[in-house]
Amino acid sequence: MSLFSSLGSLLTTMADGLDPLFGASAAAVAIVLFTLCVRAALHPLARAAVRGEKARAALAPKITELGRKHRDDPERMRRAMAELRTREGASPLAGCLPTLVQLPVFFVMYHVFSTGSGAGDLLDHTLAGAPLGAHWGGVFSGGPGLVYLGLFALIAAVATWTYLRTRKVTVPGAPGVARALPLLSFGTLVTAAVVPLAAALYLATSTTWTAVERALLHR
C-alpha cells in the first residue's frame, strides 16, 4: 500500500467515524484532527526550537559586540559569530526543524486531494458547501467563498503574529535566510490560495497550532 493510499484510508476511516456528528463536513474535521495529532507528535521538536530561540536571544549582546569589534572585516565577523553560536549551541536555523519535518505530510495531503490518488470518496466531502478537492476561484461570494474568506483571515492573522514575534527573536548578524524567516510566514497565505481546500485546511490548522504553541512556550 502506497503512502498516499495509507493516508487516504486513515482519513476515510476517521471521516466515517465522525460522519454521524458532522455529516458532509466529517472529512474536514478528520483533517483538522489528523493535523493536531501530527503537531502533537512534533511538540518535542518545537520545545527544542524555542530553547534555541531563547539561546540566540541571550547571545544578542555578544553578537552586537562582535559586530562593533569586526565591523571593518565582515569575513572575520562572520567567522567569529559562527564560532560563538557553535560554542553556545545556538543554531540560527533551529526553529525551522518542526516546519521541515511537516513538509512530507503536507505534500502527501496535497497529492491525495489534487489527484484523487488513495482518496476514495474523500473528494465527495465538503466544508460548508466547498469541495475539499477544489481550489479557490478568486471570489468570496456564496458559501464556498465565505469558507475561503474565513480561512484566509485566520492564516493572515496568524502570519502577522508570527512575523512580529519572529522579528523580535532574530538577532543581529544572523544569516540572510534567518533574517528572511519573518517574511516566510506570509507564504502560507499564498500557498493556501493555490492548493486544494483540504491542504489549505491543514496549513491553517498547523499554523494556528504553531502560534498557540509558541505563545505558551514563550510565556
Q: Which residues pair with 126 in a beta bridge?
A: 131
Q: Which residues pair with 127 in a beta bridge?
A: 130
d(CA 151, CA 128): 12
d(CA 166, CA 128): 34
The predicted pLDDT at position 28 comes to 92
The predicted pLDDT at position 179 comes to 54
H-run or E-run covering 206 = helix 197-217
Extract the C-alpha cell encoding 34. Answer: 489528523
pLDDT tens, the chain, 219 aa long: 577 788 888 888 899 899 999 988 899 999 999 999 999 998 888 887 777 777 767 777 777 777 777 777 677 777 777 776 676 666 655 556 677 778 888 888 888 888 776 667 787 888 988 888 888 887 787 778 889 999 999 999 988 887 887 776 554 545 555 555 557 778 888 889 888 899 999 999 998 998 888 888 877
d(CA 91, CA 82): 9
